[in-house]
Structure formats: C-alpha cells, structure tokens
Chains A and B, each alone.
Chain A
Amino acid sequence: MSRWTRTADPAADAGWKNAPPRKGFFTDSSICIGCKACEVACKEWNGIPEDGLEMLGMSYDNTGSLGASTWRHVAFIEQPRRAVAASGLTPLPVVAARPGENRSFDGAETGIRWLMSSDVCKHCTNAACLDVCPTGSLMRTEFGTVVVQDDICNGCGYCIPACPFGVIDRRQGPPGTRNVGIAQKCTLCYDRLGDGMTPACAQACPTQSIQYGDLDELRVRAQHRVDALHAAGVADAQLYGADPNDGIGGAGAFFLLLDEPEVYGLPPDPVVTTRDLPAMWRTAAIAGATLLAGAAVAFVRARS
C-alpha cells in the first residue's frame, strides 16, 4: 500500500529501468522581472491557443491563473508601502546575493514591493493527477515528470479536482480548437527533453529566474541562493516545494518565494490526496460490508 502514496524515485516506480536523473525547474522569483517570455515561449512551442483578451486589473497580470491553455503564469503582486511597512516584510528589491555583503540601500527606498513569480505545474513526486487518472493518459516520464498523453485522455476530468495546486484543466474552446475536452498542462517540454534540449520557458527566461536541470543539483543551488538572501537580509525568502518530505513528496518544479505561498496563489501546505487513499478504501470497505449486512438483516424473517 505505501508504494501507492510514497515514492522516492518516481521514474523507477513507474517502471523506467536505468532512467536519467530526475529533471525539474527551480523558479527563483527574486530575479523574475515579470516579462512573461515564459508564457509566450511555452505557447509557441506547445501550440497552445490564446486564452482570453480580458484586462483583469491584477497589476500587470492579465493571464489570471494556470489552466488548460496557460501552462506558465506570471503572478504580479503590488505591496504598497503601507502594507509592506505594516507587515514588517523586507521590501523589494532583493539585494545582491553575496552572503553578508553590506549594501548601501535596504530597498525600502522603492516604497513598494512588486513581487513577480512564474508559476507552472509542480510535477509532484507523488502526483494526484497521475494517480487518479483512469485511462493512463497521465504518465510519469523517464525524467520523473508528469505528462498528459492527448491521444489517450477521454476528458473524464478527475485529475482536475485532484490537483492540490489547481494546475491541470480540461480545454474548452470553439470547435476546431486543438485538444478541446482534453486535460492539459505543462509537460516540461517532454519532447524537447527527449532531444536533450531545455524546456522552452527556461530557454527563453532573460534573467534565469526559471532554471532547468537535474533536480538534486537544483535543490542544492536553491538552498545556496536562499541562504545567500537570508545572509543579505532578505528574511522572508523561502523555498517552496523543495522539501522531499512535504505533502507531495517534493515538487519537480519548485520555487523561491519572497512572501507566503498563498500570496502568490499557492497552497501553503499541499498534500497529495491519494496519501489518504488506503484509509479511504478501508472506510469504503466497512461501509460496503455494513450495507451487505444491513441487507441481510432486512431479509431475516422475510418469507412469502
């Protein structure tokens, strides 16, 4: 049973013999300039349709959230001087990542913080979407990533409520739109990986806020970065999704954030729902047995 819910090496667990090192993203929001090149590069490579022409007024975010036709989403959060002061947060900008380096400015100069962060599918170690998919359309690749096989998916939609991050969705759109009715999400550019290339978003990112590589190496790099930021006085810098012991067994795509996750629209303590599945099956079994017994009792003394 435990194997259902706890995986150390997801690729091997999915039957991949001598798989390559697990690949992932480290998105460092402290150097994101909010240019949205990741959003466009992703759409260009994956042929994703336009996703709405509405102005949302959420700072410069007119994308809104991840979805079937948005696999990268840059969040913009404006934190006014008042709020920043009140919250006691370190105002942006983030100072140089030299541990202990003494800077002449504390960033409070800018008055406000403008947080930007590029969200993406987390490619969970224990992936709910993958577990609950009844067709095997969702698949764990040899790189440890999770992809939708659009030739298999029948659009049952179960993966959508299963995702603790609200990433995956079923594509809607006028007839003729590609993959309408099928669940869609970031594939970490599976086809490019197979050819030794970098995913489109990471390739485009001007400031390397999006870094792609071997997950182990990325986690080390991220830890150094967060240590450096702390040393430089950015107290609220925190890693998100980097811990293999969290509710999803660690994310394949993790983040460095400068505020609490929920500020960016991320769940503070995500848990893969199937972690509780064995218990749920037991409950169901007892409930079923109760029903059977109840039915039997109902027929005691019953005779025509």
Chain B
Amino acid sequence: MAECHPVGFQWVMEAKDRGATVIHIDPRFTRTSAMADLYVPLRAGSDIAFLGGIINYILSGEKYFREYVVSYTNAATIISEDFQDADQLDGFFSGFDPKTGTYDTTSWAYEGMETAAAAGSRAVAGRQPPAQAGGGGDELGGRGAALPHSEVRRDESLEDPFCVFQILKRHYARYTPEMVERICGVPPDQFAKVCEAVTANSGRERTTSWVYSVGWTQHSVGVQYIRGAAIIQLLLGNMGRPGGGILALRGHASIQGSTDIPTLFDLLPGYLPMPKAGVHGSLDDYLTSIKSDRQKGFWTAADTYVVSLLKAWWGDAATPENDFGFGWLPRINADHSNYQTIVDMLDGKVEGYFLLGQNPAVGSANGKMQRLAMSRLQWLVVRDLNLIESATFWKDGPEIATGEMRTEDIATEVFFLPAAAHTEKDGTFTQTQRLLQWHHKAVEPSGDCRSELHFFYHLGRMLRERLETSALDRDLPLRQLVWEYPLLQGDEPDAEAVLREINGCHLSGEKAGQLLNSFVEMKADGSTAGGCWIYTGVYSDGVNQSARRKPGSEQSWVAPEWGWAWPMNRRILYNRASADPAGRPWSERKAYVWWDEAAGKWTGHDVPDFQATKAPTFRPEPGIGGPDGLAGDDPFIMQSDGKGWLYAPSGLLDGPLPVHYEPIESPLRNAMHTQQSNPTREMFPRTENLSSPSPPDLGAEVFPYVVTTYRLTEHHTAGGMSRWSPYLAELQPEFFCEVSPELAAERGLEHLGWATIVTARTAIEARVLVTDRLTPLTVGGRVIHQIGLPYHWGVGGGGAIVSGDSANDLMGVSLDPNVHIQESKAAACDIQPGRRPTGAALPRFVEAYRQRAGLSVDTGTTRITPPGDGT
C-alpha cells in the first residue's frame, strides 16, 4: 500500500501512530513491509491456504463474534443434503462435469431451493455451464447472487451438521498451521502471531480491516481469495463497521467507475448482467432469471433499474410494447472478455480494435500474444497521451527485432489519436471507495488532443448520419438512440449533461423533467429514465454532488460533503451491521450508525445503509420479498436473504467455499488434495500461450523458480503515464529483477549485472538487484526461491524517456472462471546470469527450454489431476 498508494497510506501511518498493528503479507519485502509491525513472506499463489488457516484458527479456537455471526451471516442456514465438500471429493465439490469442466451448482443450494434449479435459470440456481450462459458468472459488484426466495431454514444454535457453520468447520479443519507452513512457507510461530493479532483486534471494541490489490485478483482462483477474506471478516464481525471491511486498492483513477458504468462485456450499468442469447429472449425472461420477487432486498427492484436504463438510451422509442427496446441489446453467448478477444484476434476473427488509454503490449499478460494478435487486425485505433508501445509494435516491437514479424508484412492500419489529459476535460472519476469526484477542465486541449467524450460523441454522430436512411433492423438501435448532448467550446459534449442522464430523471407525471433523487424513485413503467441506477442521487436536488468540495477540516471525519459515494452517498456499505441486532452500537468506540428509538429512525455519522425508519425489531410476513422482506436485523440489504454469505450457495462457478489450488505453474504438488489446480479455470491452449509443467507432470524442474510481478511507487502500470516523464523516469530508470542473495549465489547472479529470465512464453533480460528483501522460503521441505519483477517497462514506443523488456511478456494466460482475470501473479521461470540472446537467437533459446521441459500445447491443461504419485 505504501508502495502503490502512498497517499492513502498516510491513514495507515496515522492509525499506527495511535497504536494500530500493521501486518504485511507479501512475497517480497516492500516499502509497506518497512513500516509494518509484522512482515510475513509467503509463496506467491498460496494465499487461500493462509486465509483458510486463519478461518480454522477462528473456528477451532472459538474466536468468532458469535452474536454477529448468528444474526448477520448465513452461518445458521441449512444447506442441501446433496452437497458434498472438497475434502470429501479430494478437491472437487459435488456437481462437477468433467466434459465441460464446469459445475452444476444445484447441490450447493440452500436446503429447499434445489428444485428452483429446474426453473432453468443459472443465475438463480447456477445450472447452465458458461459455454451457454455467457462465459461466466454475473459480476456481482453491486449485490449478492439471486435466490428463488428467502425462506431458509436456520439453526441458530449452529449445531445442525448441514448448517453453513458446521460445513465451514469441516471444510477448514485441514487448514492447520502445519499445512499453512507446508503450502505457504510460513512458519507456525509467525502464523500464530497473525492469527492472534487479527482475532484479538476484532470484536465489539475493535475492528480489523484487510487490504488487497491485484496480488489477490490475478490468479486462477482470484475470486476465492477475496471470498476467503470475506469469511474471516464476517466471522470476526468486521463488515459494515468503521475500521473494518475488505478494501480493494484499485490502481487506476476510475477503474471502479469503469466497473460501475462498465466498459465490460458481461455487464450493463449498475451491475445488471448483459442479456444472454437464448436465456434472455424477452425482458421478462431476463428479469425472472436475474432475480426473484420472493428474495429479499433491493435487487428485486431490478426491473425499475433496467427499464430506466433502456429509457435513458432509447427514450420515446423504448415503449412497453417493444419491451422498452430490450430486444435491441446485443446478446452474449460465451466469454467475450479481453483475453478471449485476443485469441479470436489471433485467428483473424476480429477486424477492428480500439485502445482507450490502455497499453496491452506492455500491460497485459503474454505481451507477445497481444502484439501478434494486433498484427492480425485490419485496423487499430489508439487513443493515448503518448505514443505507447501498443501504437508502435508494428515498427519497433520485440518481434520485429526477432524477425517473428516484419513491418512490411503487417496489414494493420493504425490510427493514433492524441487524448486530452484530466486537466483538459470535465468529468468524474470514481475512486477506490466508490466516491465520485468531479474534476474541472483547466485548459483547452492542444492540437488534435480530444477527450473520449468528444471522440465517441462525434463518432456516434457520424455513424448516425451514415445510417440515417438505413432500413436495416440492425441499424435501428443506433438510429433511435438518444444522442443529443449540448456542445461546449470545441464541440466538446457537456459532461454534466451526460452525468445528469446517468443520474436519471422523471419522464412523465407532475415531476416530469425533474432529476431523480434516489433509485427508489425509479419505475418499471417507463416513467423514469436513468443511465446507472447505483449512481442515481449524484445529481440529487439538481446539484452536481460529485463536485462538492467542502474542506475536510470543516466537516465530520466521515466527510460526507466531499464528493458523492454510491449508493446514496453511503461511505461504508452495509453499515447497519455497525449496530447490534437491537440497533445499539456494538460499542461506543465503534459507534457508526444506530437506531434512534425516540425519533424512530436510523441515524449516525454516515447515511444509514438501511431503510431509514425500519425498526430493529421488525419482522416481515413470511413470503414477502424485496425491501419489505428485510427484517430489522438483516443488514446486508443487497443480499437475497439479507445475510452476509460465509457460504455462497450460488453466483460462483468454482465452489461455494474457497479451497486451496496450486497456481497453474507451480513448483509443488498440491498438499491439500490430489486435484492440483482449479478444475474450472479457463484455458487457451495454443502455441502462442504455452504453459510449463507442474507436478505431478515431468519437466517442472526446468522452470524451478517462482516469478511474480508488481508495481513501484515511481511508475504507473505499463508506463504510459510515467516513463515519458523525466522526473519519474530518473527515479527508476531501468527494468530490474529482485533476487535473494541465496538465489544469486545459486545462479551466479551479480548485483547490477544482467540476468535472463525464461518462462514457457519467452525470455527477457533485466538488471539484477540482489537484496535481502527477498527471502528463500522453505515450503514442503523444499527451498523455494521467488523472483520479483516490476512490470513498468516496455520495448519500443515513441519518445519514452526510459524503456526495457516487459515483465508481462513472461506471463501466461489462464483465467479465473468467474471474472476472466488472468493468473499473472505466480508463474514458473528459470533465471540465468547475463543478457538474453537477441534477434532470431532469442526464439531458438526459448525453444531449447521448451524442448528440455517437453512442452506441448497440452502441457498444464489437465483439468482433473490423476491420482497417485507422492504428494
């Protein structure tokens, strides 16, 4: 955090100064570790075992926050008797289909809901395999997964062998400190310190928070890493409370916003799933499949969100008769995510590609595959501040040097359009805590520099002009599209007008034309419009709330009048949980929101994330769904049963509980069970994307070391915004690898000398930084060396102050099945002293490694690990 979010880290330092204990768990000793009270090095890719060990410590040691767990989580809920756990099936949950490599999740359901699966909606019961259902689970960024209804059987004594709590206990019983040491390389005494600190610092009086970044997401089981932390936090009562939670530190100014208002294939704004071919023929099919009216919470109003979105997009053309234009939405029927698209590009299926402030030639895994794919495009549009490597790969990319590509042979037509900087346009960024902040335009962009707002508005205008007279059905959605925005200086669309459209307004009735103040005002009858329901309220009272800048010094520590957080300016989600079931703060120290009996409403430091006047004692009539179905002690109002999910009966494709799997490229056998890696992982077996073997397969010894990548404070992602800046470039001028003195001795690496790092994909060279900040770990009786690589450098590019080989060229592409994120935080490699071969010698050098390891396209693609061999 000190490394990549230094300014956010000021709050950690302040907490530390007040007595907080800071623990840093990371394969390498970073600037964060230097400030931590306890630094725990572990093997990259072993975190679930570590988290599972903590869960086991909590459960077996009775360290959980019982009252919180019983009232606010699904610990007491009874699960279907058909459910079989990974410890029973040696690494699989019940329902695995070896043919499709996917799970039928019916048996994971809450007791009494299995039948609902028959309804055939995978979102409800998770039945349909991704192949048909749209390449993965729904992204659940704004809510929990749907349930057919919320009538669950609970045993609040937590004794029932089929209640979540007992299942959890059994599931994690094998995650002992010894197992943690065997998998993570963390000695038991050190591990015990973490467990003691985390549990001792949780409860009524104290809270613990967990912070993660892509070190947790970029794995073939990334989602389950976060789930592991969620289970810990729910067991310890750290959710919905100040100083608690699980904080995702995101790496880009508006990466949160680009998920909320998604430039993502499987989402519509506000985490509404993209409609799926066959499954979502009509609006009605869609709505019944993404939610049930009998489930609890605000998600039951999804119909109002969808219809308002369609009205925002197609205005008067969206009518009840035509399903509000729902039929115009394109359908997905497979994984159309980034890496699948790149593979399709390689096969010549993709003609045109827009790159908008992104540099995949350096920033995406398997850079060579990215560049090869782009060389097979017909046209490429790159919009960026600088001439990034992705814009110049055809000219000076590494493959030009090796002769694997020839400029003269590349048909790709490339348009580079200079972009406007943040000071040259108005708009909002959504930062890592869901806070929208408006940035004002300071100056006009120079030359041909333009904002994306300008580019896409005018591109849309041109396309509409060209199709004005078209009679084709396919062109109707564009011709009917609401595409009128007031133009300001330089024909720049008014960003505030766009934000107002996102916020939404009343279309008819006496409030016609007025902006919506809250998403609860949205209607499913077409009388309201709103481009992103979770952002409704950003323009409440007709004021751009995101532009509020009341100085922090002039308001409470929650600072509710600075910017605007979705939903409804709530700064901590599910904050009802900061009070006990009776509505009293768990403790004075940790008071946040509470029930004011006299006033008959919830109040506190933040906007209560709960129906304002619903008493803690309220109990709904059985069978009532929606917001009114929420009891006064159901804090998790976006969850279909109002509870925090220790166990996920639906919504996930690779299991209801996190289980340890080895990374696809691992030096070790899975110590937990026969199954080596996540059987549901998404793979792209092809020559451009080879994997190296892992045990029990032979040849793993050719790539004996673990390699992981990360950022440095001095640079930004793929370097497009830092390597062109002399002041930043001079602070970290060269690409380097960090190795321990022990590894340096083993391989004869010299400090400040050169090293060549090789994986199944390619070989790159880096200056060597030999440092004690990397420690060899003893894992499963073996010494494991880890190599650290910052991934900011790239080869080529126009005008970069510094350049160098790209760490991401080493990484392979295998994906987490739920969110299609690649495993690039743990891979197998070899390292040798000296510079890498150049020209045609480089591919030959890599090929020799592949042959020694006996690599083929099938290497590492076995879904079901055969039994036997020494684990």
Residues of B within 8 A of A53 (CB): 729-730, 733, 801-802
Residues of B within 8 A of A107 (CB): 37
Verify if B618 is at the interface (C-beta below 8 Å from A): no
B15 to chain A: closest residue by CB: A96
A62 and B37 contact, Cβ closer than 8 Å, known pairs A111-B772, A207-B10:
no
> Interface size class for chain B?
35 or more
In the assembled complex, 11 residue pairs joining A and B whose CB atoms fall closer than 8 Å, in A order, are A33-B6, A34-B34, A37-B6, A43-B727, A50-B801, A59-B771, A60-B31, A96-B19, A110-B29, A112-B772, A206-B6
Extra A-B contacts (4), CB below 8 Å, given A104-B196, A111-B29: A50-B730, A62-B733, A103-B21, A110-B38
Residues of A within 8 A of B16 (CB): 96
Verify if A122 is at the interface (C-beta below 8 Å from B): no
Verify if A127 is at the interface (C-beta below 8 Å from B): no
Are the C-beta atoms of A40 and B775 separated by less than 8 Å? no
Verify if B726 is at the interface (C-beta below 8 Å from A): yes
Are the C-beta atoms of B727 and A50 separated by less than 8 Å? yes
Report the bound CA distance from A50 to B752 in whole Å: 22
A residues engaging B (CB < 8 A)? 31, 33-37, 39-40, 43-44, 49-55, 57, 59-60, 62-63, 78, 80-81, 92-93, 95-98, 101, 103-105, 107, 109-114, 116, 206-208
Are the C-beta atoms of B732 and A62 separated by less than 8 Å? yes
Residues of B within 8 A of A97 (CB): 17
A228 to chain B: closest residue by CB: B17
Residues of A within 8 A of B466 (CB): none
Are the C-beta atoms of B39 and A52 separated by less than 8 Å? no
CB distance from B696 to the nearest CB of A (A): 34
* 8 A Cβ contacts from B374-392 to A: none
Residues of A within 8 A of B317 (CB): none
Are the C-beta atoms of A206 and B771 separated by less than 8 Å? no
Residues of A within 8 A of B197 (CB): 104
Report the bound CA distance from A200 to B21 in whole Å: 31
Residues of B within 8 A of A43 (CB): 727
CB distance from A266 to the nearest CB of B (A): 20
Contact residue among B7, B13, B19 (Cβ-Cβ distance under 8 Å from A101): B19
Report the bound CA distance from A36 to B715 in whole Å: 11
A36 and B18 contact, Cβ closer than 8 Å, known pairs A105-B193, A114-B773:
no
Verify if B33 is at the interface (C-beta below 8 Å from A): yes
Contact residue among B39, B752, B771 (Cβ-Cβ distance under 8 Å from A78): B771
Are the C-beta atoms of B9 and A33 separated by less than 8 Å? yes
Contact residue among A40, A57, A104 (Cβ-Cβ distance under 8 Å from B193): A104
CB distance from A44 to the nearest CB of B (A): 7
Report the bound CA distance from A63 to B39 in whole Å: 27
A55 and B772 contact, Cβ closer than 8 Å, known pairs A110-B29, A110-B34:
no
B196 to chain A: closest residue by CB: A104
Verify if B714 is at the interface (C-beta below 8 Å from A): yes
A62 and B2 contact, Cβ closer than 8 Å, known pairs A80-B772, A105-B38, A109-B37:
no
Are the C-beta atoms of A36 and B772 separated by less than 8 Å? no
Residues of B within 8 A of A55 (CB): 732-734, 736, 752, 767
* 8 A Cβ contacts from B744-781 to A: 751-752, 767, 769, 771-773, 775
Report the bound CA distance from A209 to B728 in whole Å: 20
Verify if B414 is at the interface (C-beta below 8 Å from A): no
A50 to chain B: closest residue by CB: B726
CB distance from B38 to the nearest CB of A (A): 5
Are the C-beta atoms of B33 and A208 separated by less than 8 Å? no
Residues of A within 8 A of B39 (CB): 109-111
B190 to chain A: closest residue by CB: A109
A206 and B9 contact, Cβ closer than 8 Å, known pairs A101-B19, A104-B197, A109-B193:
yes
Residues of A within 8 A of B767 (CB): 55, 57
Are the C-beta atoms of B19 and A114 separated by less than 8 Å? no
CB distance from B802 to the nearest CB of A (A): 6
CB distance from B63 to the nearest CB of A (A): 16
CB distance from B790 to the nearest CB of A (A): 10
Residues of B within 8 A of A95 (CB): 37
Report the bound CA distance from A260 to B560 in whole Å: 46
A81 to chain B: closest residue by CB: B772
Are the C-beta atoms of A35 and B21 separated by less than 8 Å? no
Residues of A within 8 A of B29 (CB): 110-112, 114
Report the bound CA distance from A55 to B737 in whole Å: 12
A33 and B775 contact, Cβ closer than 8 Å, known pairs A50-B727, A98-B19, A207-B13:
no
Are the C-beta atoms of A114 and B34 separated by less than 8 Å? yes
CB distance from B750 to the nearest CB of A (A): 10
Are the C-beta atoms of A114 and B31 separated by less than 8 Å? yes
Report the bound CA distance from A110 to B38 in whole Å: 6
Residues of B within 8 A of A63 (CB): 730-731
Are the C-beta atoms of A36 and B714 separated by less than 8 Å? yes
CB distance from B14 to the nearest CB of A (A): 9
Verify if B35 is at the interface (C-beta below 8 Å from A): yes
Verify if B713 is at the interface (C-beta below 8 Å from A): yes
Contact residue among B18, B37, B713, B775 (Cβ-Cβ distance under 8 Å from A103): B37
CB distance from A34 to the nearest CB of B (A): 5
CB distance from B695 to the nearest CB of A (A): 29
Report the bound CA distance from A208 to B6 in whole Å: 12
Residues of A within 8 A of B568 (CB): none
Verify if B36 is at the interface (C-beta below 8 Å from A): yes
Residues of B within 8 A of A80 (CB): 772
Report the bound CA distance from A101 to B20 in whole Å: 11
Are the C-beta atoms of A78 and B773 separated by less than 8 Å? yes
Are the C-beta atoms of A93 and B34 separated by less than 8 Å? yes
A37 to chain B: closest residue by CB: B6
Residues of A within 8 A of B22 (CB): 93
Closest 5 CB pairs of A and B: A50-B726, A114-B34, A110-B39, A55-B734, A35-B6
Residues of A within 8 A of B730 (CB): 50-53, 62-63
Are the C-beta atoms of A109 and B38 separated by less than 8 Å? yes
Contact residue among B10, B17, B33, B193 (Cβ-Cβ distance under 8 Å from A114): B33
B32 to chain A: closest residue by CB: A33
A96 and B752 contact, Cβ closer than 8 Å, known pairs A35-B31, A62-B733, A110-B34:
no
Contact residue among B17, B190, B713 (Cβ-Cβ distance under 8 Å from A35): B713
Residues of B within 8 A of A92 (CB): 34-35
CB distance from A114 to the nearest CB of B (A): 4
Residues of B within 8 A of A60 (CB): 31, 712, 732
B751 to chain A: closest residue by CB: A57
A57 and B9 contact, Cβ closer than 8 Å, known pairs A93-B35, A104-B21:
no
Residues of A within 8 A of B37 (CB): 93, 95, 103-105, 107, 109
